[in-house]
Amino acid sequence: MMHDTTNRARNDHSPAYACTAERIAMLFGIPEQKIESYAQEGMLPRLADGKHDCVWLLNLAIGQQITDGQQTSLSVTATVVLGWLDSVGDDLGEEDVRAFIAVFERNGFNRSEFSSALDAALSFCDSRDASR
């Protein structure tokens, strides 16, 4: 049986979510400078080896789209949670919450910070729904 080397899994001990700014730029079409700017502004935590969590960035971008043009300003963490809530939809389960707490923890935040961000994001959703 022959295998093409492009089909083999990389074994660099780096999780799939951890990518360089260059790789994230390629995957999402975001200019590399913008990704580095997010990191410098404290919006995108740095992981080991100068990599970033593309799950964090994706949810941040979704949250920013939702809050764009709104009167309310959310913290970065609440904006990330808002993006995550939008992605998960109405079928939010306990396993989803545990999984996203892990995203927070691998980016240097704790469960309490996740809970605060979740409260802020839910409050934003409630106030936005009330104004419609």
Q: Is residue 6 part of a domain?
A: no
74: closest CA among 82, 84, 62? 82
Q: Is residue 10 part of a domain?
A: no
Q: Is residue 63 part of a domain?
A: yes
Angle subtended by helix axes 94-106 and 111-130, to nearest 10: 120
**Which residues, at least 6 apart from 117, have a Cβ–Cβ distance to it below 8 Å?**
75, 77, 78, 80, 81, 104
State how far the alpha carbon of 111 is from the alpha carbons of 1, 56, 98, in Å: 48, 16, 10
> In total, how many domains does the chain have?
1
pLDDT of residue 3: 37
Output the six-digit token pair for 106.
């691998």
Tens-place pLDDT, residues 50-77: 899 999 999 999 999 999 988 778 999 9
pTM for this model (two decimals): 0.83
pLDDT of residue 10: 41
pLDDT of residue 69: 85
100: closest CA among 122, 125, 124, 83? 83
Q: Is residue 40 part of a domain?
A: yes
Q: Is residue 64 part of a domain?
A: yes
Q: Is residue 79 part of a domain?
A: yes
Q: Is residue 8 part of a domain?
A: no
Percent of the chain with pLDDT over 90: 68
Domain assignment of residue 45, given as a range: 15-130
Weakly modelled stretches of the chain, pLDDT under 70: 1-13, 131-132
Q: Is residue 1 part of a domain?
A: no
